[in-house]
Structure 1
Amino acid sequence: MDLREELLSALRAGDGPQTLARLAQAVQRPPTTVRFHLAGLLDDGLAEATPLPPAGPGRPQLAYSARACMDPAGSREFGLLAGALAAALDADPDGAAKAARSGHRLGTVQADPCTGTMEDLLSVLTGMGFSPTATGSRIRLQRCPFLEAAREHPAITCSVHRGLMQGVLDAHGDRRRADLDPFVDGDHCLATIGPPRSAGAPAVR
């Protein structure tokens, strides 16, 4: 258990708000060290500080107590969640289309229509971890942020990514179509932007 967890346990085990000195004694650490970690708990909304009645001149002493909420620190197993969701959609006959529509909604939210279309598309892909490089209308995606899920369920994961790119294009009013060829030469995916969709053609299918 690290010091952050020790402090949180001490706060939750207390019968009321606790002073810095009492917490330092409980975890057997210097007050300066405890104060630093308490600041992190306060910033994350896991603890709150209330001033005690003044006992003399100077700033009033603070007492700390735990708040009822989950700790946002620690690892996130998003890969496991992505794999589980991809597997569920893979079993659905309409799974790829649903995945593309979900990606499309994400793309429209992430897009910034005030910038150029390709500039914005590359910015969104970079921010999501694809490490893109563009040559004209072709974009080489050198990383996949959901590589394991993409290998196991490519129809679903790649549909999300294609829909994501299409959503960015559509947010700019760009009628071109986003296509995606996965695992080209085994070391990258290749996105191609264009040609324009025909009038009335759906953005994603």
Structure 2
Amino acid sequence: MSQEIQARKQWIQAPAKRRSGEEIRSAIMDYLHAADEQTGAGLTAQQIGAAFGIHPTTARFHLERLVEQGKAVRQRTDSDSQSAGRGRPAVIYSPTSMNRAREDMISSLCKALETACPDVWSRDEAALKAGQAWGRALAQRDKVHVGKSAPRSMRQTLLDTLTTLGFAPVRARSDSASLYLTACPFLESVSSHPIICTIHLGMVQGLVDGSDKEASGKKAKVLLNPLSSPKGCFLKVATADNRPRRRVKQ
């Protein structure tokens, strides 16, 4: 495999130099991008370890750090071809941001929305509806993927989906419904187009509404405070009566 040979070649250059963790992770990211461009698929820690001549546990450590930084996403696959053994699904790692064209497309879409809706109120409404449609589609996709044999709670679906999308969510407390989104796969575009945060709010609303309702059918109230903490964006999903949901201030 040509990319594996190239990765090994780069890895053994300058043998006297001890590579830092960030240098190792940068090389792994380059490898993940190359794999995505060639095959459109992610890689396991075992494959990364084999490519770089390091133990899979070490490879997994660096891959998890990349996930925490929002540079990579993890997901489980039902495929037996990359199974971790004993029938367990393999954990696949992929780059979060595929290429510059993706960022340009997002920026163009935001500009089109901002041009079509010159006033803030209509712009927010359009962004919120777009995000809600996205979230409902994600919820439906999750139901199809999981199937009826393994139902999951709305909170678990939300946590898994946000992780897969590259937001690197962490619970504010172990028993809390509040999350910190410690990374954002669209961070480069947010500074120029804060409307992206409104789309994300709508996405979470749609994802929650599209998942199984909890607590006797009461709707969940979604609160999102973008970049409100050094840890990242604060997200809270709480069961509430049918009261108006708070909006993101632009």
Separation in 2 of the partners of 1:96 and 1:108?
A: 18
Residue type matched to 1:121 in 2?
A: L
CA contact (8 A) 1:133 1:139 kept: yes
Match of 1:133 in 2: 170
Aligned-residue sequence identity (percent) comes to: 25
Cα 1:196–1:202 change in 2 (3 A) is same
What is the TM-score with the length of structure 2 in the denominator?
0.47
Match of 1:159 in 2: 198
Match of 1:60 in 2: none
**How far does the alpha carbon of each residue in 1:96-130 deviate from its partner, in whole angstroms, 9 at most, with x for none?**
21111111111111123531111000111011110
CA contact (8 A) 2:223 2:247 kept: no
Match of 1:198 in 2: 242
CA contact (8 A) 2:223 2:246 kept: no
Separation in 2 of the partners of 1:186 and 1:163?
A: 23
CA contact (8 A) 1:183 1:189 kept: yes
Separation in 1 of the partners of 2:134 and 2:246?
A: 13
Runs of 4+ in 1 over 4 A off after TM superposition: 201-205
Task: Say yes or no: does 1:103 pair with 2:131.
Answer: yes
Task: Say yes or no: does 1:169 pair with 2:208.
Answer: yes
From 151, 157, 164, the equivalent of 1:120 is: 157
Task: Say yes or no: does 1:189 pair with 2:233.
Answer: yes
Cα 1:162–1:83 change in 2 (3 A) is same
Q: How many residues align?
A: 135
Residue type matched to 2:182 in 1?
A: Q
From 170, 182, 194, the equivalent of 1:142 is: 182
Deviation at 1:147, TM superposition (A): 0.7
Deviation at 1:89, TM superposition (A): 2.2
* Stretches of structure 1 lacking an aligned partner (at least 5 in a row): 4-39, 45-73
Residue type matched to 1:83 in 2?
A: S
Residue type matched to 2:170 in 1?
A: T
Cα 1:115–1:176 change in 2 (3 A) is same
Paired residue secondary structure (2:158): helix
What RMSD over aligned residues (CA atoms) do the two structures have, in Å?
Answer: 3.1
Separation in 2 of the partners of 1:122 and 1:106?
A: 16
What is the TM-score with the length of structure 1 in the denominator?
0.57
Match of 1:8 in 2: none
Separation in 2 of the partners of 1:140 and 1:187?
A: 6
- Return the index of the structure with the highest Cα Rg: 1
Task: Say yes or no: does 1:89 pair with 2:129.
Answer: no
